[in-house]
A and B are shown apart, each in its own frame.
Chain A
């Protein structure tokens, strides 16, 4: 097997003259923008990995004169903090990405939904927004952005819950379909993208789809900004080429004693040491919105699992029973096993419950609790029981 090392990339944080990008896109046909992004194979960086070009084309094809672009800056997944850094370092590029989307889709209004925990960024963003709106006027491109703040609810990162929140209601996810591209914010066609996705769109327009595709693999093109934390001497934010194995990642970021890596945060998967070599970080292996947490042998995986379940129990919106009750039961269940009130067979029952939650829950929160649960219980059973 070919061993390439972790490759650092500097595209997202590179300073770019947004004026040049805007000059380019106002001359491009909207469909040509969709086509360029489609050809790049860019997949959403918020976690779910939907092809961005396709999303934009769906929204573009909707009839009706009111459409919206939404930038998802709710960043609540435990272990993810790269969007904060992007918004802090290159806010103009994020707005520029929204302008590209607006041209592609035909939207005149955009929203940035910023988590309340990042309120301290507002003065910086507002300053940049004034410059951005002036540029919009210069180019005669009719597009305005408004920033809306969250108020401490992880579920509002889920796209339809985010719409509910902007509309002034409880952040309870909607049924899907209909998808946001047909019925989204205020019932109108909406293209919603993660902060990083929008900046990749800027990179694609600047350098071209073929250049973007030179990095990464067939299933995971380009680079990705990773948020690295836990037991590592190098915690922080790193833009890396996609396609590396967990092993390569650990060689670069581990402390020499890494026993597991949680890829994708609380809703992601736990990869144990014996799977480091074979597991690719990306859509062909374990996908991630960027959260990479390393655990060394001093850590109890029971504590890790308990912490995640506590998180989900608190953050479940409570709207549907499998998730609301399921989270509580999983939490109580592992506590009972740890205390010795239940035997180890009971863990198998809990794994089944997590699988049921995957099928029966209304949104991605309830559907992904089983990812961490299943992978931690499967690989660290003794630590859960004893």
Chain B
């Protein structure tokens, strides 16, 4: 007989949000808050809780850029690359960030503290260039300002 190891956290989330299809995305969102990404096992366990196929869970998750299925760091830095930020020095901010946390765009640091990703317009164009670190927006960035912000995160 197949032994099923209980995934306590997934069960808790299903209890909290419910087990109907409309609960799927809130459950996946909470998993990402907890682990920063969706592991294969978590997706299988969510599928079992909601009684849908794992492929369906995977297919839904991969549609959304914030529902990552790859390992990500504790702090996910998303740098806006859309036009206003591009015009106002996004490239300089990007290379500053790369220098400070010593990873390239698309990478996650080996200690899994940081991931560096791009995003499309995050809604702060009048205060470009802008980034998100997890849920927090930082705007009107200069190389000095972003350096200071990241130093704080490195110390955390």
Q: Answer whether residue B137 sits at the interface, using C-beta atoms and an 8 A cutoff.
A: yes
Rounded to whole Å, the gap between the CB of A305 and the closest CB of chain B is 10
CB within 8 Å for A236 and B126 given contacts A151-B64, A171-B63: yes
Q: Are A168 and B119 in contact (CB under 8 A)?
A: no
Rounded to whole Å, the gap between the CB of A162 and the closest CB of chain B is 12
- Size of B's binding interface in residues, CB under 8 A: 36
- Stretch among B1-9, B18-26, B96-104, B148-156 lining the A interface: B18-26
Partner of B128, one of A119, A152, A229, A307: A229
Residues of B within 8 A of A317 (CB): 63
Q: Answer whether residue A81 sits at the interface, using C-beta atoms and an 8 A cutoff.
A: yes
Residues of A within 8 A of B65 (CB): 151-153
Q: How far is the CA of A76 from the CA of B123 in the complex (A)?
A: 7
**Which residue of A has the minimal Cβ distance to B32?**
A151
Q: Answer whether residue A97 sits at the interface, using C-beta atoms and an 8 A cutoff.
A: no
Cβ proximity bits B10-40 to A, threshold 8 Å, 1 near / 0 not: 0000000000111111101100000000000
Q: Are A78 and B120 in contact (CB under 8 A)?
A: yes
Q: Answer whether residue A190 sits at the interface, using C-beta atoms and an 8 A cutoff.
A: no
Rounded to whole Å, the gap between the CB of A161 and the closest CB of chain B is 10
Q: Are B86 and A307 in contact (CB under 8 A)?
A: yes
Residues of B within 8 A of A19 (CB): none
Q: Are A79 and B135 in contact (CB under 8 A)?
A: no
Residues of B within 8 A of A228 (CB): 126
Q: Answer whether residue A115 sits at the interface, using C-beta atoms and an 8 A cutoff.
A: yes
Q: Are A151 and B125 in contact (CB under 8 A)?
A: no
- Size of A's binding interface in residues, CB under 8 A: 49
Interface residues in B92-131 by Cβ distance below 8 A to A read 119-128
Give the most central of B84, B86, B123, B132: most A CB within 10 Å.
B123
Residues of B within 8 A of A168 (CB): 20-25, 60
Q: Answer whether residue A314 sits at the interface, using C-beta atoms and an 8 A cutoff.
A: yes
Residues of A within 8 A of B29 (CB): 116, 149, 151
Q: Answer whether residue B41 sits at the interface, using C-beta atoms and an 8 A cutoff.
A: no
Q: Are B123 and A116 in contact (CB under 8 A)?
A: no
Q: Answer whether residue A227 sits at the interface, using C-beta atoms and an 8 A cutoff.
A: yes
Cβ proximity bits A150-175 to B, threshold 8 Å, 1 near / 0 not: 11111000000000011111111000
Interface residues in A222-261 by Cβ distance below 8 A to B read 227-231, 235-237
Residues of A within 8 A of B137 (CB): 117, 120
Give the most central of B25, B64, B121, B122: most A CB within 10 Å.
B121
Q: Answer whether residue B67 sits at the interface, using C-beta atoms and an 8 A cutoff.
A: yes
Q: Are A120 and B121 in contact (CB under 8 A)?
A: no
CB within 8 Å for A151 and B25 given contacts A78-B83, A227-B126, A311-B82: yes
Q: Are B84 and A169 in contact (CB under 8 A)?
A: no
Q: How far is the CA of A230 from the CA of B83 in the complex (A)?
A: 8
Q: Are A229 and B66 in contact (CB under 8 A)?
A: no
Q: How far is the CA of A166 from the CA of B28 in the complex (A)?
A: 13
Q: Answer whether residue B87 sits at the interface, using C-beta atoms and an 8 A cutoff.
A: yes
Residues of A within 8 A of B119 (CB): 117, 152
Residues of A within 8 A of B122 (CB): 117
Residues of A within 8 A of B125 (CB): 78-79, 81, 227, 229-230, 235, 293
CB within 8 Å for A170 and B59 given contacts A117-B132, A236-B126, A307-B82: yes
- B residues sitting closer than 8 Å to A (CB atoms) are 20-26, 28-29, 59-60, 63-67, 81-84, 86-87, 119-128, 132, 135-137
Q: A81-B126, A120-B135, A311-B121 are in contact. List 9 more A-B contacts (CB 8 A).
A: A77-B121, A117-B119, A152-B67, A153-B63, A170-B63, A227-B126, A230-B125, A304-B83, A307-B83
Contact sample, A vs B, 23 pairs, CB 8 Å cutoff: A79-B125, A80-B121, A81-B124, A116-B66, A117-B132, A118-B123, A120-B137, A148-B25, A148-B26, A150-B66, A151-B28, A151-B66, A153-B64, A165-B25, A168-B21, A168-B25, A168-B60, A170-B60, A172-B63, A229-B84, A299-B87, A303-B86, A315-B120
